[in-house]
């Protein structure tokens, strides 16, 4: 067969395949490998740490040095310290019991050991199987249940893994992986996640609000918009509307702002008259806002609290005046700031935390006034930072700057049901939140000056009213705001200090949905030619020293104008008899001139001489030697004829 025939056959066969056939493409990275890069360091859960043993059950992967200082030394260096560092492509081995009380899985590092022999090796008695009552109890299942095993061959391995994970995380808290949304330069004081879980808002002390979109965000985790509501005012509270089409932004100014879902300003509420003494007669707040929250059911109503000592209910359709003004009950006349406010689940009750430590609750009803229905005079010893109602309307949570978290029964508010202490906080926006099924309570703590624990996220059991876990988020930054989204099943925690700020998102690939899983798995888009922009080199000739202007004397002139002596003193003559401000007193500007004049060497006679005589003394010189105009008209100029003087005749 000729070469031409072979070429035609090849071309005909090649035409049936796409152009991309046979090209070498890079294999996509597996999801397991992607999530392994964001995996947190996990430890065997311990009882709640005391002051003598500051062990942390789970610590952020960004603080490995701090984690190693808290770990106990491993007596056997041949055993791996963490199970998640093993190759994810290999099937996991069943848990090996090391002792009766510490069931920790250990994998042998000897390369020659057989897998069958390792699977059958058991050191100590096997761990007891979980009881059926514990599995049936729905209170311990915080997240969604695990999917069933795929086949019968891996059922034993999956069963061992599930037992191990249940022991490590019986409350199904998504803590295995972590990502951080960065961008702020100071502490992130507030956080808001919309109801669908697609967009996240973060407000900071650097006066900005950043907007993140999980659907359009890749693994770079960059915000798509940055806002500055009021220049020079810290962002203190953010809240989504019930339909998630708008959000409320509360800053340190007296005016709250409303933005749409894309960050465009829809309006700002009016500021009141600060010279009116009665706050009910003003159209708005007169001092900085402290908190704000959207109505849980009505998309046209919001609630704000302020340092002027009032709470106000607003209508979003009217930015010029509020609907209702609420003044808290005070022991003494005056103005005490309202530090926080909250709606209940149905929007029928309002709770406010007053600066004197009292908690006051109002019930919305026809003809209601400012008198509270429930008044706890000594709720806390310091400012209250957050209030939170339970969905069933029976429990109220309060967080305070005095380092406590209190659980209140709304049916009996005389005394708190439980007080959790040793929860330091340094920020007035530290909040408290519930888990999706409201079986757990979570709040953050701040970094103490002489403490070693760092910023923690604490979880409490609602029924047993006890601390179950403390999760280390950052060794140097405080945890301010936290949230547990019900649809995503992911935990959000904002941290920061005076130099940096970020939002940590804790998730579990097997328990969480969308959100962080989507943006982490999405690779950055490849750059095209349109993304490259050549930066032109601009040459400014006037920047060269040759064309540079002389230094300005403006500052020197302004300094002279501020001097009362220099600004009122008139300008002095340079020379002459008036030199120095005194006429004829100095006889010259220099010492040499003064001595010559006094000695008679220099004589000034022009002041005593007649002007007419001084001019006529040059008449003879001008007639004999004319220099200027006279020579030009010498030939044509007639001889001057002067009239003879008749003074003699007149004398006769």
Average pLDDT of the residues in 379-393:
93
Contact 174, 143 (CB under 8 A): yes
Query: For residue 567, what pLDDT is reported?
Result: 79
Query: For residue 577, what pLDDT is reported?
Result: 56
Question: What b/e sequence results for 57-81 when a residue is b if at least 16 CB atoms lie within 10 Å of its CB, and e otherwise?
Answer: bbbbebbeebbeebeeeeeeeeeee
359 has a pLDDT exceeding 90: yes
**Residue that has been written with the tokens 């020379």 in this structure:** 575
| Between 584 and 633, the higher pLDDT residue | 633
User: What gap in Å lies between CA 441 and CA 395, rounded to an integer?
Assistant: 11
By mean pLDDT, which of 136-145, 165-174, 233-242, 488-497 is the weakest?
Answer: 136-145
Contact 364, 372 (CB under 8 A): no
Closest C-alpha to 220, from 524, 494, 531: 524
Query: For residue 171, what pLDDT is reported?
Result: 82
The confidence band for 266, taking pLDDT boundaries of 50, 70 and 90, is very high
User: What gap in Å lies between CA 233 and CA 372, rounded to an integer?
Assistant: 31
Average pLDDT of the residues in 553-571:
79
Query: For residue 174, what pLDDT is reported?
Result: 92
Task: State the number of CA atoms in the 13 A half-sphere of 648 facing the CB.
Answer: 2
Question: Sign (positive/negative) of CA torsion 564, 566, 571, 575?
Answer: positive
Closest C-alpha to 304, from 289, 321, 284: 289
Query: For residue 254, what pLDDT is reported?
Result: 94
Average pLDDT of the residues in 179-204:
94
Average pLDDT, the chain: 77
The confidence band for 238, taking pLDDT boundaries of 50, 70 and 90, is very high
Contact 259, 266 (CB under 8 A): yes
Contact 338, 309 (CB under 8 A): yes
87 has a pLDDT exceeding 90: no
| Both structure tokens of 378 | 């000594």
User: Which residues, 6 or more positions from 61, have their beta carbon under 8 angstroms from its beta carbon?
Assistant: 38, 39, 40, 41, 178
Average pLDDT of the residues in 278-293:
92
Query: For residue 621, what pLDDT is reported?
Result: 82
532 has a pLDDT exceeding 90: no
Question: Sign (positive/negative) of CA torsion 505, 508, 511, 515?
Answer: positive
Query: For residue 61, what pLDDT is reported?
Result: 42
Average pLDDT of the residues in 571-579:
58
Query: For residue 576, what pLDDT is reported?
Result: 57
| Both structure tokens of 138 | 């729905």
| Both structure tokens of 248 | 């409320």
What are the structural domain ranges in the chain? 177-524, 575-608
Portion of the chain with pLDDT greater than 90, in percent = 43
Query: For residue 340, what pLDDT is reported?
Result: 95
pTM for the whole structure: 0.63
User: What gap in Å lies between CA 288 and CA 292, rounded to an integer?
Assistant: 12
Q: In what order do the strands lie in the sheet with 177-184?
A: 177-184, 501-507, 490-496, 478-485
Query: For residue 54, what pLDDT is reported?
Result: 39
Per DSSP, 537 falls in state P
Per-residue pLDDT tens over the stretch 103-147? 344 343 333 434 344 444 444 455 555 544 444 444 444 554 555
User: Which uninterrupted H or E stretch holds 247?
Assistant: strand 246-251
Query: For residue 645, what pLDDT is reported?
Result: 64
Per-residue pLDDT tens over the stretch 45-59? 334 443 333 343 344
Question: What b/e sequence results for 591-616 when a residue is b if at least 16 CB atoms lie within 10 Å of its CB, and e otherwise?
Answer: eeeeeeeeeeeeeeeeeeeeeeeeee
Query: For residue 370, what pLDDT is reported?
Result: 76
Query: For residue 598, what pLDDT is reported?
Result: 66
Query: For residue 454, what pLDDT is reported?
Result: 87
Rg for the chain (alpha carbons), in Å?
Answer: 43
User: What gap in Å lies between CA 383 and CA 355, rounded to an integer?
Assistant: 5
Query: For residue 32, what pLDDT is reported?
Result: 80
The confidence band for 102, taking pLDDT boundaries of 50, 70 and 90, is very low
SS3 assignment, position 66: helix
Query: For residue 523, what pLDDT is reported?
Result: 77
Residue 334 CB-density burial (10 A; 0-12 exposed, 13-18 middle, 19+ buried): exposed
| Between 34 and 98, the higher pLDDT residue | 34
39 beta partners: 177
153 has a pLDDT exceeding 50: no
Per DSSP, 39 falls in state B
Query: For residue 169, what pLDDT is reported?
Result: 65
User: What gap in Å lies between CA 423 and CA 398, rounded to an integer?
Assistant: 12
By mean pLDDT, which of 229-243, 291-305, 413-427, 514-528 is the weakest?
Answer: 514-528
| Both structure tokens of 403 | 């380092």
The confidence band for 560, taking pLDDT boundaries of 50, 70 and 90, is confident
SS3 assignment, position 300: coil
Average pLDDT of the residues in 73-96:
41
Question: What b/e sequence results for 535-548 when a residue is b if at least 16 CB atoms lie within 10 Å of its CB, and e otherwise?
Answer: eeeeeeeeeeeeee
Average pLDDT of the residues in 282-296:
94
Query: For residue 129, what pLDDT is reported?
Result: 54
Q: Can you list the positions of beta strands (E) in 390-508?
A: 395-400, 405-409, 418-420, 432-434, 440-444, 455-461, 466-474, 478-485, 490-496, 501-507
User: Which residues, 6 or more positions from 157, have their beta carbon under 8 angstroms from its beta carbon?
Assistant: 91, 92, 93, 94
| SS3 annotation, 160-221 | HHHHHHHHHCCCCCCCCEEEEEEEECCCEEEEEECCCCCEEEEEECCCCEEEEECCCCCCCC
Q: In what order do the strands lie in the sheet with 257-260?
A: 235-240, 246-251, 257-260, 265-268
Query: For residue 117, what pLDDT is reported?
Result: 40
Query: For residue 116, what pLDDT is reported?
Result: 42
The confidence band for 62, taking pLDDT boundaries of 50, 70 and 90, is very low
| Between 541 and 363, the higher pLDDT residue | 363
Average pLDDT of the residues in 510-522:
87
- CA torsion, points 512, 516, 522, 526, in degrees to nearest 10? 180
User: What gap in Å lies between CA 576 and CA 573, rounded to an integer?
Assistant: 7
Main-chain phi, psi angles of 139, to 5 degrees = -70, -30
Per-residue pLDDT tens over the stretch 394-429? 999 999 999 999 999 999 998 999 999 999 999 999
Question: CATH top-level class for 177-524?
Answer: mainly beta
Give CA angle at 488 (486, 489), nearest 5°.
Answer: 60
237 beta partners: 250
């Amino acid at each position: 067969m000729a070469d031409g025939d072979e070429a035609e056959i090849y071309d005909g066969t090649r035409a049936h395949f796409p152009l991309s056939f046979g090209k070498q493409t890079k294999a996509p990275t597996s999801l397991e490998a992607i999530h392994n890069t964001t995996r947190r360091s996990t430890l065997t859960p311990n009882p709640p740490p005391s002051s003598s043993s500051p062990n942390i059950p789970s610590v952020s992967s960004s603080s490995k040095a701090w984690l190693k200082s808290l770990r106990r030394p491993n007596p056997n260096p041949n055993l791996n310290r963490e199970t998640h560092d093993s190759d994810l492509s290999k099937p996991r081995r069943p848990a090996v019991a090391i002792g009766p009380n510490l069931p920790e899985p250990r994998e042998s590092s000897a390369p020659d050991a057989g897998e069958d022999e390792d699977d059958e090796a058991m050191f100590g008695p096997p761990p007891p199987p979980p009881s059926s009552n514990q599995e049936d109890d729905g209170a311990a299942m915080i997240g969604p249940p695990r999917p069933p095993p795929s086949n019968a061959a891996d059922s034993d391995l999956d069963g061992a893994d599930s037992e191990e994970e249940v022991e490590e995380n019986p409350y199904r808290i998504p803590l295995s992986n972590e990502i951080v949304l960065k961008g702020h330069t100071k502490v992130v004081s507030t956080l808001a996640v919309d109801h669908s879980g697609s967009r996240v808002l973060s407000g900071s002390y650097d006066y900005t609000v950043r907007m993140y979109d999980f659907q359009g965000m890749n693994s770079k985790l960059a915000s798509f918009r940055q806002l500055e509501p009021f220049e020079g005012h810290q962002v203190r509270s953010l809240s989504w509307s019930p339909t998630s089409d708008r959000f409320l932004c509360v800053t340190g100014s007296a005016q709250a702002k409303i933005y749409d879902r894309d960050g465009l300003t829809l309006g700002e509420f009016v500021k009141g008259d600060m010279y009116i003494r009665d706050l009910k007669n003003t159209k708005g707040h007169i001092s900085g806002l402290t908190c704000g929250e959207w109505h849980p059911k009505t998309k046209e109503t919001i609630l704000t609290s302020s340092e002027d000592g009032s709470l106000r209910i607003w209508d979003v359709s009217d930015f010029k005046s509020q609907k209702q003004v609420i003044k808290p009950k005070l022991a003494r006349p005056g103005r005490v700031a309202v530090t926080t406010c909250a709606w209940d689940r149905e929007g029928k009750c309002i709770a406010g935390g007053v600066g004197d430590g009292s908690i006051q609750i109002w019930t919305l009803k026809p003809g209601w006034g400012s008198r509270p229905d429930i008044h706890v005079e000594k709720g806390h010893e310091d400012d209250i930072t957050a209030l939170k109602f339970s969905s069933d309307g029976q429990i109220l949570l309060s967080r305070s700057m005095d380092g406590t978290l209190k659980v209140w029964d709304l049916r009996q508010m005389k005394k708190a049901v439980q007080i959790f202490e040793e929860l330091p906080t340094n920020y007035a926006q530290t909040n408290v939140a519930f888990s999706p099924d409201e079986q757990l309570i979570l709040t953050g703590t701040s970094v103490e000056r002489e403490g070693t624990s760092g910023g923690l996220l604490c979880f409490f059991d609602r029924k047993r009213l006890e601390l179950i876990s403390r999760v280390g988020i950052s060794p140097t930054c405080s945890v301010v705001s936290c949230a547990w989204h019900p649809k995503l099943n992911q935990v959000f925690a904002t941290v920061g200090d005076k130099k940096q700020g970020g939002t940590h998102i804790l998730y579990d690939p097997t328990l969480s949905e969308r959100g962080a899983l989507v943006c982490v798995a999405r690779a950055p888009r490849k750059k095209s030619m349109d993304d490259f922009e050549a930066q032109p080199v601009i040459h400014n000739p006037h920047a060269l020293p040759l064309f540079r202007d002389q230094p300005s004397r403006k500052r020197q002139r302004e300094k002279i104008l501020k001097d009362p002596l220099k600004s009122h003193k008139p300008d002095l003559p340079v020379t002459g008899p008036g030199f120095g401000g005194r006429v004829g007193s100095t006889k010259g500007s220099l010492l040499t001139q003064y001595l010559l004049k006094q000695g008679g060497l220099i004589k000034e006679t022009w002041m005593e001489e007649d002007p007419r005589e001084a001019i006529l003394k040059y008449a003879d010189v001008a007639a004999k030697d004319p220099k200027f105009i006279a020579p030009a008209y010498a030939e044509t100029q007639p001889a001057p004829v002067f009239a003879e003087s008749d003074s003699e005749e007149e004398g006769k």
